Structure 1
Amino acid sequence: MTSSPAGYSVIDVETTGLRASWHDRVIEIGVVHTDLDGRVTGEWSTLVNPERDLGPQRIHGISAADIRHAPTFKEIAGAVAGLLRGRVPVGHNLSFDTGFLDAEFTRIGVTTPLLGVVGVCTMAEAQRFLPHAPRNLAGCCAIADIPLDGHHDALIDAHAAAALLRHYLDLSRPHSPWPAALTSCAAAEWPPYAGGDAPWVRRGVSAERQHHFLARILDRVPQAAQPVQATTYLALLDQVLLDHHISASEADALVDLATTLGLCRAELDRLHRDYLLTLAQAALADGVVTSEERHELDLIAGLLHLPASATDEALTETATRTPSASPRFALREGDLVVFTGEMTEGRETWENRARQAGYVPHANVTKKVRLVIAADPDSLSGKARKARAYGIPIVTPEAFTRLLI
């Protein structure tokens, strides 16, 4: 029995790259439903964990910190199938979006009619409805007087394509320009897929969910931390703060270690003050604290949730107290370093800088590697995951630049 046409399902995906047939993956999906007249009837969007690095983040703007909270495609496949079933797929450069979605379904063993069903490509249809418009989404929207703010956000782009769809439908009245597509999509057979209905996650989730790591440490009656506990924790803290930033993955590592060592918040506060004191002593070693050194001390104090007065207190205390031992991380000539992720400057440029500083760029992460430099410190790349498993610090390119000075 043939179902009646339900309308259109306007889709957009953000991806790690351009090749669905290779190893690139979907990292965000936006879906907008419209009725037969192009009126919006619903919207859905989620980030998708590709279980690899995120590719050109400067383009799509998605952070690994957010992706850590996102479902995999398998975990939302049932919901995605339900949003597409019985509707005409629409997209700007539709073959790109359907190609990636079909590849994701194929990876989990699900065969869909996505690539065999006729759809509406608002880019291709622009030749008929917007003959002087450029091919890209922004250009078509400009000609059709459709606002487009936040380009390369899947839901925003899906809404823009939906607005183009309605514009085309309005220009076609009273006739439907795609009756055959409506009929064939309504009749297309989608395989039943049970499950895969995990909660969808939007951008910015990390900021909403991720509290400062100290807030996740139990507050109990403090006991004096043993030297081995202090040394172990401070060694990790020093690695974490190499790039003057605590990533979501690093915060998790600090919480896990503090919990394993049985350290409470009061004990961590003391260790953090000792760590700041060590930095203050290093800054005062030549008798002068420069503005740059002061800025670094204030920055570290803020990252550790120490009070605004902590830096002044540490600088004053350096003359009267010897801090607890705090091992400092430092690269040595001949150390192996690994780069991962798409950086603003090419990989070869960074590797040459490392060689000039006496370090050895390495292709893979092994236990002999001393440092991993990642475009995103929360990277999900295989190299980054292996580095975390081996306890190798991961820093940003900017932090690595400071180590070269």
Structure 2
Amino acid sequence: MVAGYAVIDVETTGLRPSWHDRIIEIGIVHTDTAGRVTGEWSTLVNPERDLGPQRIHGISAADIRHAPTFKEVVGTLIGLLRDRVPVAHNLRFDSDFLQHEFARIGTPISPLHDFGVCTMTQARQFLPRAPRNLAGCCAMADIPLDGHHDALIDARAAARLLRHYLDLTSPNCPWPAALSATTSIAWPALEGNAAWVSRGVSAKRENHFLSRILDRVPQAAQPVRAEPYLALLDQVLLDHHISGAEADALVELAASLELGRADLERLHCDYLAAIGRAALADGIVTDAERRELELVAALLHLPSTAVEQALAEGAKSASTPVPRFELHPGDHVVFTGEMDDGREIWEERARQAGYLPHPNVTKKVRLLVASDPDSLSGKARKARAYGVPIITPDAFARMLS
């Protein structure tokens, strides 16, 4: 017996699964056979690659780091689709991506668009003057659509379109063939019931990295132990941001060096003093230099008095030396992800500054510029393995200037 409809929307890294684009978010809304909503579910999905046009779907790699893979949610997904008519706005698009994801885990499925309902196609009959896109159909049917390109929000909107179509034909069902075909679909028996993960999870789960450092008995910071940590800290703060992956790296290194919170607080003060010393080199601390000091202090959770203390320490010639990252002419720089001006423009800027854009990350590469510093691209994963700093395009622009 048909349980009702399963209205689906997927957000993806691009438009073509045949070009290795992947699903990164799934939203499903259940309705009964009259179109009344009975439940909903959504989750981010880790594609184990970069996220494509983030300016469109608005999903961050920081959130994706916490998300399950498709294989880990497939059991839940099958349970949500079984004995229901699949529905989507542009069902072929969603169907193609789901087919490819199932094929990747070795379990092919039938094309959903062969027996489902596409609210975009049906708009020709029920909303003949509406544009084909979801926003246009919703506007014509007086359905609100706030937060477009969020999978669950779009699935809710498509579910309301479905209800609109059903109301226009009530009490008859306009798709009897779809209802009858659904009951004969044999879904694979797969397990995988990972917890769903929503947008914004990183802000909820990721405390400041210092909160993850053990409180060990304070020890005198030995230079041989402090230098690797300070060098990594300098790389992390190149773009005035501590990504989730960078926070993990700092915590892991601190643990391997047996550094406690008191040790790190002292090293962070040393690092801030080094920046203060650089600012004082010409005898004047500019507004921009002070803003940088204040930003770094905030990123390291240092007290409000830390900047003045750093400037006082920086004026002392005996201050602890801190390694600073620098690019030199001829250094190799790699770019990854979709950037506002296009990757080719950024590569040309690097050339004009004397650096050498490189297509892939190798041990000779000095810097990776990524549209998202938590990027899951192959280049980003290799950069982290080699200890290559990852910074944003904005940070690279500051370095160029």
Query: Structure 2 length normalisation: TM-score?
Result: 0.99
2:135 corresponds to:
138
1:332 corresponds to:
328
One-letter amino acid of the counterpart of residue 265, structure 1: R
Task: Determine the C-alpha separation between the residues in 2 that align with 1:394 and 1:222.
Answer: 31
**Which stretch shows the higher mean deviation, 315-324 or 89-98?**
315-324
2:123 corresponds to:
126
1:182 corresponds to:
179
One-letter amino acid of the counterpart of residue 325, structure 2: F
One-letter amino acid of the counterpart of residue 188, structure 1: I
Quote the offset at 1:321 in angstroms. 5.8
- Any idea what SS the aligned residue of 1:231 has? helix
Structure 1 stretches lacking a partner, 5+ long? none
1:117/1:184 contact within 8 Å kept: no
Counterpart of 1:235 (choices 231, 237, 240) is 231
Task: Determine the C-alpha separation between the residues in 1 that align with 2:229 and 2:8.
Answer: 47
2:378 corresponds to:
382
Counterpart of 1:154 (choices 143, 151, 156) is 151
Task: Determine the C-alpha separation between the residues in 2 that align with 1:266 and 1:119.
Answer: 61
One-letter amino acid of the counterpart of residue 260, structure 2: C
2:78 corresponds to:
81
2:312 corresponds to:
316
Quote the offset at 1:287 in angstroms. 1.1
Counterpart of 1:33 (choices 30, 39, 43) is 30
Task: Determine the C-alpha separation between the residues in 2 that align with 1:320 and 1:191.
Answer: 70
1:258 corresponds to:
254
Matches within 5 A, 1:1-400: 4-115=1-112, 117-193=114-190, 195-320=191-316, 322-400=318-396
**Residues 88-109 of structure 1, C-alpha deviations (whole Å, 9 max, x = no match):** 1100001000110111001101
Structure 1 residue ranges (4+ consecutive) displaced by more than 3 angstroms after TM superposition = 114-117
Quote the offset at 1:111 in angstroms. 2.0
One-letter amino acid of the counterpart of residue 402, structure 1: R
Task: Determine the C-alpha separation between the residues in 2 that align with 1:362 and 1:319.
Answer: 40
CA RMSD of aligned residues (A): 0.9
2:95/2:113 contact within 8 Å kept: no
Task: Determine the C-alpha separation between the residues in 1 that align with 2:152 and 2:127.
Answer: 23
One-letter amino acid of the counterpart of residue 208, structure 1: K
One-letter amino acid of the counterpart of residue 310, structure 2: A
- Any idea what SS the aligned residue of 1:284 has? helix
**Residues 216-264 of structure 1, C-alpha deviations (whole Å, 9 max, x = no match):** 0001211112111111100000000000000000000000000000000
Task: Determine the C-alpha separation between the residues in 1 that align with 2:92 and 2:284.
Answer: 62
Quote the offset at 1:188 in angstroms. 1.2
Identity %: 71
Task: Determine the C-alpha separation between the residues in 2 that align with 1:130 and 1:308.
Answer: 60
1:117/1:185 contact within 8 Å kept: no
**Residues 283-341 of structure 1, C-alpha deviations (whole Å, 9 max, x = no match):** 11111111111100000000000001110121123334632121100000000000001
Task: Determine the C-alpha separation between the residues in 2 that align with 1:94 and 1:116.
Answer: 6
- Any idea what SS the aligned residue of 1:305 has? coil
Quote the offset at 1:13 in angstroms. 0.2
One-letter amino acid of the counterpart of residue 98, structure 1: S
Quote the offset at 1:85 in angstroms. 1.1
Structure 2 stretches lacking a partner, 5+ long? none
Task: Determine the C-alpha separation between the residues in 1 that align with 2:316 and 2:246.
Answer: 33
Quote the offset at 1:116 in angstroms. 6.3
- Any idea what SS the aligned residue of 1:187 has? coil
- Any idea what SS the aligned residue of 1:21 has? helix
1:6/1:186 contact within 8 Å kept: no
1:33/1:40 contact within 8 Å kept: yes
- Any idea what SS the aligned residue of 1:354 has? helix
Quote the offset at 1:115 in angstroms. 3.8
Task: Determine the C-alpha separation between the residues in 2 that align with 1:323 and 1:380.
Answer: 38
1:377/1:394 contact within 8 Å kept: yes
